[in-house]
Structures are given as structure tokens and as C-alpha cells.
Structure 1
Amino acid sequence: MKRRHLLTASAVLGGAALWPEARLLAQQTQDFIEGPPVADIPAKQLSAHTWMIFSPDGFPTAENRGMMSNVIFVVTSAGVVVIDSGASLQIGQMALRMIRKVTDKPVVAVFNSHYHGDHWLGNHAFVKAYGKQLPIYALQSTIDKLKGAEGNLWRSLMERWTNQSTLGTEVVLPNTAVKHGQVIQIGDVTFRMHHYSNAHTPSDLCVEVVQDKLTAVGDIAMGNRIANMDEGSYPGTFKYYQALMAATGEQLWVPGHGQGSKDLLKTYGEFMAGIWEPCLQAVKDGKSESEARNMVLKDGRVTSRAKTMQGFEGNIGKYTSLAYLEAEKEAF
């Protein structure tokens, strides 16, 4: 059912709430309600085996239909491995179309970097295409987080943020847990798992594509978008960067948001330090949170990114506040 019929369907469901069979009818009707397709974004090759479907937007809107994060895929001799599947069934379906323009090999595995919905709700498309036996890897903490209400919450949020464009997306959770340091060989490509500390979330999985000297870093660093730090840690982020760089050496760091680069952890780390260090100093000097915010907004590492960074104006105050609160704990 296309979006022009959604109003009628909603009315039917509203009336059905009065019937004993309401739940069954709602489920049957939901099976036919599906948001519009997402426009194709051709994949670009990043390295010998790795491609990326790049999202120019960092936040979900009705216009972009939830296409707010990159979908990465690796073509191995055994099949295609997807790293982060997108924010909806429709985005996953678009990714499948783009994969098929590159190779006729099947998708044989999916990795989800963490539990935020724009990185895993596209799982539905891949399971729909290849069956429930398809391995979907994530940290156990991500799987546990999504088992409860969190999974459905993300599905509902994405529908709301996109004016129902993602309707029809089902919650398909990761089904296979991985651990830090684990190595998974798929065809001729080796994948190494990394997880060091609480950075963007407590459950950030980075996936190293060993032969390509490329690591998909999820949301621990971003190209040109201010990161959500509601569940994260500033010092934890810096520790993660140090440990990851020490373990891998020089890499092409590919984020969930923005373009990849070999200096991504350095440049994004400098921006994050421009928020963290003034807040920590303000706490040590007995200054207020508002004074700390003024210090952050004058820091050259922050001002150099302010005009171009997506989400800066709407979020810098909140994430400065979070840094100040964490600095209070760190200082004492």
C-alpha cells in the first residue's frame, strides 16, 4: 500500500480498535503498508574490496527518507559483507540494488556497529532477501540492548522523523555475538573486531578490513557531523582512539557519517578535545557550566568547525553540558 492510502488505512485501523479482531487486522494491514522507495545512491569504491554508499545528510528528515548514515560493503570471494545496513527496509533495499550493480555475489554477512537505529534497521531488507539464517554480527551488549523496547523504539522514532517514510520496516536484530579481538575470515578477506571502551555508546564495534588497511569506525568519529554523546564518554573516546590506532596502525578510517580519511581520528579527536579540555579546566578552576560553554565556543578547535559541521548549532550546548558533567566526575 502506497503512502496515498495511509490515511485510509489509519482510519480502518482506528475503527478496528473497537473490534475483537483488531490486533489481527492491524497486523494484516501493516503487512501491506510500506513507505516509498529511497532514491539510488551509487556506491563508490574505497579500497580493493570495500565500497560505500554515502549519505550526504547526517540527520533523518521526510525529504531524505531516513538516509542519514553510510552503508559500507565488502566484496569477498565468498560473497558480500555489509557493515551497517541503514535506517529502514527501503534503505536496505536501495543498498541491495547498488550492491548488485557492483557484483552478482550474494550477501553472506552483516555487521551492526552499535544499537542506534540508523545503523541496523536496514537488516530487514537483507533478511528478506537472503533468509533468517543470514549471520548478523554485533557486540553482545548491542544485542541485549535491542532485545527489549529499544528496538521498537528506534523503528517508531525513524517513522516519526521521516513522516512515515520508513513504514513497513520490521525489527530484525543481530543474531550472532562477536567479541573484541575476534577474527572472522570470509572468503579471501579477514575481518578483525575492535571494542575498547565507552566512546559514542558503551557498545561501539569497529570492524577492520585487514587486507585493505581500512576500518569502519561506526559513530566513534564523524566526518562533518557533531556526534551524539548522550550515552558516550569524552575521555572514553580518546582512549578508544589511542587503543585502536595502536592495534591497527595506519588505516583509512571510514565513519558512519561523513567521508573517510586517514587522519579522521586525529581531526575529529581535536574537535572533541576542544569541547572536553575547556570543560575540564573550567571545573578545576571552579567556573560554572555557562562559563565553560563560553570557553568552548572560543576554542579554535571548535570555532574552526562551527560553520560547516552538521547539527552544530542545535547540539553544541547540550554536548558541552554533558562534557562539563563528565568533567565534574573526572576531576573529583
Structure 2
Amino acid sequence: MKPDTPFSSPPSLNAPTAVPLRSRRQWLRMVGGTGLSVAGLAMVPDVRLFAQQVQEFIEGPPVPDVAPEQLSPHVWMVYAKDGFPTAENQGLMASVLFVITQKGVVVLDTGASLQIGQMAIRMIKKVTSKPVVAVFNSHYHGDHWLGNHAFVEAYGKDLPIHALAHTREQIAGHEGNLWRSLMERWTNQATLGTKVFAPNNTVQHGQVFDYGDVQIKLHHYGRAHTPSDLCLEIVQDKLTYIGDIAMDNRIANMDDGSYLGTFKYYDAIQKAAGDQLWVPGHGRGSKTLLDTYGTFMRGIYEPCEKAVKEGVALDGAKARVLQDPRVASRAKTMDGFDSNIGKYTSLAYLEAEKEAF
């Protein structure tokens, strides 16, 4: 994944509230020279605001509480209503799910920052006094796992954080620090203080984790949104958390993905799991989500596939995609449509070209 492409239209980085880095460092040196603490100087009215800004330079501000919603007998969600990271939403763009079991709480994705993870922990404690006993990371895009920091901080470094092998490798490697720095930039430093905590346990397709009254079954059927998308079926509840292989009302990032792989993934997981409430990382879940989002995705890929077969250039393929009723019907309401449809049509065209040769 290229550093500037997880979202093709990053938010403005010119928010007026940030204190220049050099000024903050100079102020910290001044504090050290006086022997006074930041907290002590903060009691002085003239420097109270500046002290607050210095603290936020060291660690971003807390994320406001989002009341958890119960989706099924065992599953709750801290819902993220915004599809893209901004200074205003502080990176809260991917939902955090948690499952309350006899053996404790299992968290499905942890959010985009230390601060979001801390907020999610506060919300879990509003619902249950049980400790978090495990975390699962669905894939390596940072809006789904940077909150690991908060859970390690709260429950210890031995807390099991599960992911597929490729996801572990990506987070522990280049992708980890890349996503940490990108999220800081996109949120105007609201996520500062977040550290990379990669998953510490490798899982595989078909594994079933037994938490007493709840079993969680793992699904992976190849490249879809990324090469390593992990979907988690809460067996007793007939609910499956699908991460980013489908979205409710947002055009998905396909930089690391495959259209044909996505269609194959949908077919395989529906055959394996049957009737489910499909819950995405972005947006609301439904029993028809894979069908409705798959229809939209086919509206992008199939005109490109036909254009390649007929020797029509990319511009002509884009025109066909925009005219396709499966795409046109979503154009006015889908988050990120205008800024992303051109790019992801291009990716569909390239994939269709590759398949043709």
C-alpha cells in the first residue's frame, strides 16, 4: 500500500489549533529550566491553554464517549459514524465490536488510536465488569488495530492479540509505523501518543475459539480488501464481523485488494456460514450486506471487464461504470464516491487487463 493512498482525499492538515513543534520544544525547555512542572504552570491563567496544548502534543486529547449498542445476545458495538479520518472525528472512523462471554470480553478490532481504544474500554466497562481476555485484528489497515495500544496498556502485554500471519507481518513491519504516522497527519495530531502493538498470536482459517457459552469461528478465503482479511463468526448469534471486505455506505479502499477475489470471498463465506447478520467495520450491518455491496462492486468491475475485452480505453470504461445503474444508484449517497470512484475504476480496469492476458 502506498503511503498516500489509503484514502485518496486526506482531510486538510491546516487546522488552526496546533502549536508549532519548535514552540512546544522551546516551552518544554523553559519549563525544565524553571524546575516547575507542566501541571504547576497550568494553574497560571496566562499559560493554562498553552499547557493543555503541550500535553496534547505529548498525547492527543481523549475521544468523547460513544454509547455502545447491542447487536445480538453477546455482541456489542461502539459505532463509528464517519468513514474517513479528520481532525474533528479524531480518527474515529471504524467501529469497535466486543463479545461478552463466560470467560471474558473478546474485542474485534480496536480502532485507530490509543485514545479510541481507551474510549472503547470505558464503554466496555459500562456494559460488563468482565476483563478483556482476547483481541482479534481483522486486517492490517491502521484504523482497525492502532487501538491495540490501549488494550495492552490496560490488560498487559500478554493479552492475546490474534491475526492472520500476513497481517502480523505487515503491522510488525513497514505498515505499522506508516499507519501510525498517517493517522497523526490526517487527524491533525489528535492520535499522538499511539504506539504500534502488533498482534502476538497467529491464527488460521477454520479455527474455532471456545469462550464457554460462545464460539468464534475464523474465516479467510484469499484476497478481498487485502490479502489477509479475517472474518469472525459469532456462532451462537448468527453474526459475522467482516471487517472491510464489504461496507455499508462507503466506497472501499481497493489498493491492496481484488474485485474478483472479493466476489469469490463472498460466495465462499456465505456458503460456509449461511444466514448471518453481516457487520462491517464501516457502517451498519444487515443480512443482505454482501449481496448489496457485491452488486455495487460488480457494477464497477464488469463494465471494465467488458471494456477490456472490446478494446475500449480506460476513459471509456469509466464512462460505462458511471452509467451502470448498479453504480449510478449509489453515487449521490455513498461516502467518498466522488473522490474515489475514478481511482477504483482504474484498479478494476487494471485487474481486468491482467485477467485478460
TM-score range, shorter chain: over 0.9
User: Is 1:128 aligned with 2:188?
Assistant: no
Higher gyration radius (CA): 2
Alpha-carbon displacement from aligned partner over 1:304-331 (angstroms, at most 9, x marks no partner): 1111111100000000000000000112
Offset at residue 265 of structure 1 (A): 0.1
Letter in 1 for 2:180: R
Residues 69 and 119 in structure 1, CA contact (< 8 A), matched pair in contact too: yes
Letter in 1 for 2:188: N
Aligned to 1:9: 24
Alpha-carbon displacement from aligned partner over 1:272-321 (angstroms, at most 9, x marks no partner): 00000000000011100000000000000001111111110000000000
Offset at residue 33 of structure 1 (A): 1.1
C-alpha distance in 1 between matches for 2:345 and 2:25:
41
User: Is 1:186 aligned with 2:201?
Assistant: no
Which aligned pairs between 1:1-332 and structure 2 lie closer than 5 A? 8-11=23-26, 33-332=58-357
Offset at residue 10 of structure 1 (A): 4.0
Offset at residue 187 of structure 1 (A): 2.6
Residues 79 and 95 in structure 2, CA contact (< 8 A), matched pair in contact too: yes
Alpha-carbon displacement from aligned partner over 1:242-272 (angstroms, at most 9, x marks no partner): 0000000000000000000000000000000
SS at match of 1:133: coil
Cα-Cα RMSD: 2.0
Letter in 2 for 1:197: G
Residues 3 and 36 in structure 1, CA contact (< 8 A), matched pair in contact too: no
SS at match of 1:306: coil
Residues 163 and 199 in structure 2, CA contact (< 8 A), matched pair in contact too: yes
Offset at residue 147 of structure 1 (A): 1.7
TM, length-normalised to structure 1: 0.92
Check 1:195–1:287 CA distance in 2 against 1; reply closer, same or farther (3 A cut).
same
Letter in 2 for 1:102: V
Residues 57 and 189 in structure 2, CA contact (< 8 A), matched pair in contact too: no
Aligned to 1:22: none
C-alpha distance in 2 between matches for 1:65 and 1:331:
43
Residues 79 and 187 in structure 1, CA contact (< 8 A), matched pair in contact too: no
Alpha-carbon displacement from aligned partner over 1:35-85 (angstroms, at most 9, x marks no partner): 000011101000010011111100000000000001000000111000000
C-alpha distance in 2 between matches for 1:136 and 1:125:
12
SS at match of 1:207: strand
Offset at residue 180 of structure 1 (A): 0.4
> Which stretches in structure 2 are left out of the alignment for 5+ residues?
1-16, 31-53
Alpha-carbon displacement from aligned partner over 1:165-188 (angstroms, at most 9, x marks no partner): 000111011000000001111231
C-alpha distance in 2 between matches for 1:271 and 1:7:
48
Moved more, 315-324 or 31-40: 31-40
Offset at residue 137 of structure 1 (A): 0.4
Report the number of matched residues: 318
Alpha-carbon displacement from aligned partner over 1:185-210 (angstroms, at most 9, x marks no partner): 12311011100010000010001100
C-alpha distance in 1 between matches for 2:26 and 2:314:
49
C-alpha distance in 1 between matches for 2:342 and 2:298:
15
C-alpha distance in 1 between matches for 2:336 and 2:356:
29
Letter in 2 for 1:326: E
Aligned to 2:39: none
Residues 56 and 190 in structure 2, CA contact (< 8 A), matched pair in contact too: no
Alpha-carbon displacement from aligned partner over 1:91-143 (angstroms, at most 9, x marks no partner): 00000111111111100000000000000000000010000010000001101
Letter in 1 for 2:223: N
Alpha-carbon displacement from aligned partner over 1:184-243 (angstroms, at most 9, x marks no partner): 112311011100010000010001100000000000000000000001000000000000
Identity of aligned residues (%): 68
Letter in 1 for 2:24: A
Letter in 2 for 1:260: G
C-alpha distance in 2 between matches for 1:4 and 1:97:
29
Letter in 1 for 2:278: W
